C-alpha cells in the first residue's frame, strides 16, 4: 500500500502549498503546483521508494545513482532553482543559474514550508525550513539574488513566524511596482 501512502503525501503537500500560495495571492501557482507528481515517472518512483520521512527521489538516487523522477520534476516546475539554469559562456562554469522571477521564489518558499511540515509532522518548527536551506545552500544551483530572497524569507519565518512573513510577502515582496515597500520590521 506504499502507493496509497505516497498519494496521500503528495495530496497533502499539494494542499499545503496551495494554501500558502493563496495566502500571498499566487492563486494560479497554488492550483498548478507539482501537477507533474501525478505523472507515471514521478508517481511510480514515489510509490516504489516511499518512506514517509524524506523524498523518495533521494532513495532512488541511492539505489540507481540518479533519479529519473527528479530529472522529470525539476524540468517541469519553475519553483525549483534547477529549472532556471542555462549554458554559460562567461567564466569557467559551463552552466549558470538564472535569476528566478520573484513569484517562483515565493512558491519555492511555500514548497519548503510544506515539505518540512509533511516530513517532520508534529515536530515541525518555523526554523526547520531555514535549517534545511542552511545545510544545502552552498551546494544549490541558484542565482545569488534568488538565494538572497529565499534566505531573507526563511530567516523571517524562523524569527517572526508564518503570519508576519506571509503578510510581508503579500504587502511588500509581491506588491505593485512603484509602491515603496516596507522593511520587515515595519519601517520604510
3-state SS, residue 184: coil
**Signed CA dihedral, 44, 50, 54, 58: sign only:** negative
**CA distance linking residue 96 with residue 87, whole number of Å:** 6
* pLDDT above 60 (res 4): yes
Select the more confidently predicted residue: 38 or 184. Answer: 38
The arithmetic mean of pLDDT across residues 129-156, rounded, is 96
pLDDT band of 88, cuts 50, 70, 90 = confident
pLDDT band of 176, cuts 50, 70, 90 = low
pLDDT band of 45, cuts 50, 70, 90 = very high
**CA distance linking residue 94 with residue 114, whole number of Å:** 33
Domain positions in the chain are 78-188
* pLDDT above 80 (res 162): yes
pLDDT band of 157, cuts 50, 70, 90 = very high
* pLDDT above 80 (res 181): no
The arithmetic mean of pLDDT across residues 79-102, rounded, is 92
List phi, psi (to 5°) of 50: -60, 135
pLDDT band of 51, cuts 50, 70, 90 = very high
The arithmetic mean of pLDDT across residues 155-167, rounded, is 98
pLDDT band of 172, cuts 50, 70, 90 = very high
pLDDT of residue 180: 45
What digits encode the pLDDT tens for the residues 34-44?
999 999 999 99
* pLDDT above 70 (res 168): yes
* pLDDT above 70 (res 134): yes
Read off the DSSP letter of residue 90: S
pLDDT of residue 188: 47
Q: What is the pTM of this model?
A: 0.90
Give the angle 182-108-52 at the CA atoms, nearest 5°: 135
**CA distance linking residue 28 with residue 117, whole number of Å:** 22
- What are 73's strand-pairing partners? none
pLDDT of residue 186: 52
**CA distance linking residue 152 with residue 144, whole number of Å:** 12
Amino acid at each position: 500500500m506504499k502507493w496509497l501512502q505516497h498519494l496521500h503525501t503528495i495530496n497533502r503537500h499539494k494542499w499545503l502549498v496551495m494554501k500558502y500560495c493563496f495566502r500571498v495571492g499566487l492563486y494560479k501557482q497554488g492550483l498548478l503546483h507539482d501537477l507533474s507528481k501525478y505523472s507515471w515517472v514521478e508517481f511510480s518512483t514515489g510509490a516504489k521508494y516511499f518512506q514517509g520521512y524524506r523524498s523518495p527521489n533521494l532513495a532512488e538516487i541511492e539505489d540507481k545513482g540518479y533519479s529519473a523522477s527528479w530529472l522529470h520534476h525539476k524540468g517541469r516546475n519553475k519553483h525549483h532553482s534547477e529549472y532556471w539554469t542555462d549554458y554559460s559562456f562567461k567564466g569557467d562554469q559551463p552552466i549558470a543559474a538564472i535569476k528566478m522571477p520573484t513569484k517562483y521564489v515565493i512558491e519555492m518558499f511555500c514548497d519548503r514550508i510544506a515539505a518540512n511540515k509533511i516530513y517532520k509532522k508534529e515536530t515541525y518548527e518555523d526554523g526547520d525550513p531555514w535549517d534545511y536551506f542552511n545545510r544545502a545552500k552552498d551546494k544549490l544551483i541558484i542565482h545569488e539574488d534568488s538565494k538572497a530572497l529565499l534566505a531573507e524569507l526563511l530567516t523571517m519565518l524562523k524569527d517572526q513566524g508564518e503570519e508576519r512573513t506571509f503578510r510581508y510577502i503579500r504587502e511588500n515582496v509581491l506588491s505593485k511596482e512603484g509602491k515603496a515597500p516596507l522593511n520587515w520590521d515595519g519601517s520604510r
